[in-house]
Amino acid sequence: MNINRRILTSIPLLLALACSREHLGKKGVPPTPPPPQPLPVVTLRQEWFPNSNYAGALAAMHDFAKDHNIVLKVLPGSDNVDPIKTVITGSDMFGDAGADKVLAANAKGADLVVVGVLNRTSPTCFVAKTETNIRVPKDFEGKTVGILTGTATEYVYRTLVQRAGVDVKRVREIEVPFDLGTFLTTNTYQVRPAFIYDEPVTLDQKGIKYRIIDPRSYGVEFLGTVYFTRRDVLEKHPDLVKAFVFSVADGWTLAEKYPGRAIGYLKAYDPQIDEKRELAALNKSLEYFKGDDNKILYASLSRWQEMARSLRDLHVIGDVDLLKTIDYSFVEEYSRAADK
């Protein structure tokens, strides 16, 4: 009995040793584990030169993308780089551009899908030096107004003067550059389009007195910039789209809580930026990056409908299927997870 018992108790040990030797290989050395698979690279093309609008995306790139199993590359825009085109052609997976541009592109046959909204309300406003005594849109009459043709600021302007009852025949409109220089150094025009958290920061730094005409005070509601991709990317790679949305949502959450840290990432990204100015701009802009219903990257359907109506009135777009253009599934999933 003792011998049998010893044999029986030895069998598991012998089997374990055999398995261990097989696992170790012929020379008793563990096999080399396969190299880790590289994370997929996801690109985001920004709409403009590096500025505080990059804050959430850069925070996502540095702090959160790898947590969501992607490598996020934030690529700069410029005055001659169009994120709509780079996404359509497949050069970039995601883009950051005005909601109006996405709708206009889809009206021409593009099949783009908005997966998140950065500005639930457009930061577009109009500035006039205090000395001009321009206080309301009606005061544009008899004055010269700067226009940035084909941009969202033009569409906001056209809607504003229409709703405020401005006699546009009495307004002289001239094309102006994106740069603020001519507004600062000449008197060739009295009103110029601006972003409420951009040009006013520069005017404050230079000690120039000005007034802001805010279109929202006159019932003009446009959306600002959005994150978008192609429909085929959404359908073929939903895991990557989810990872992107979760990453930038985390990034903007960090930028709101720690704006100085986010601007530090911007300074590292582009050492030429004025860190103090961009921090002031970000602090001024945070209200515009908060989503409706306390959902980050979210804007209500009613806001989309209002903007689409204005763009139709301006003959920029025809009828559009907004429900087909917007996909909030990952924004909603992120919001539910954040609430737990």
Which is higher by pLDDT, 150 or 9? 150
Q: Are 334 and 284 part of one and the same domain?
A: yes
Residue 24: predicted pLDDT = 46
Q: Which residues pair with 326 in a beta bridge?
A: 114
Q: Which residues pair with 124 in a beta bridge?
A: 195
pLDDT tens, position by position, 250-287: 999 999 999 999 999 999 999 999 999 999 999 999 99
| Side chain identity, residue 220 | V
Instruction: For residue 3, name the pLDDT band (cuts at 50, 70, 90).
Output: very low
Domain that holds residue 18: 1-33
- Please state the domain count of the chain: 3
Tokens 């600021």 correspond to what residue? 153
CATH of the domain at 213: 3.40.190.10
CB proximity list for 252: less than 8 A, separation 6 or greater: 55, 56, 59, 60, 118, 289, 296, 297
**Considering the entire predicted model, what is its pTM?**
0.87
d(CA 323, CA 123): 24
Q: Are 185 and 258 part of one and the same domain?
A: no
User: CB–CB of 164/136 below 8 Å?
Assistant: yes
Q: Which of 20, 8, 70, 22 is nearest to 242 (CA)?
A: 70
User: CB–CB of 192/213 below 8 Å?
Assistant: no
Residue 29: predicted pLDDT = 67
Q: Are 109 and 148 part of one and the same domain?
A: no
Q: Are 273 and 297 part of one and the same domain?
A: yes
- pLDDT, averaged across the chain: 91
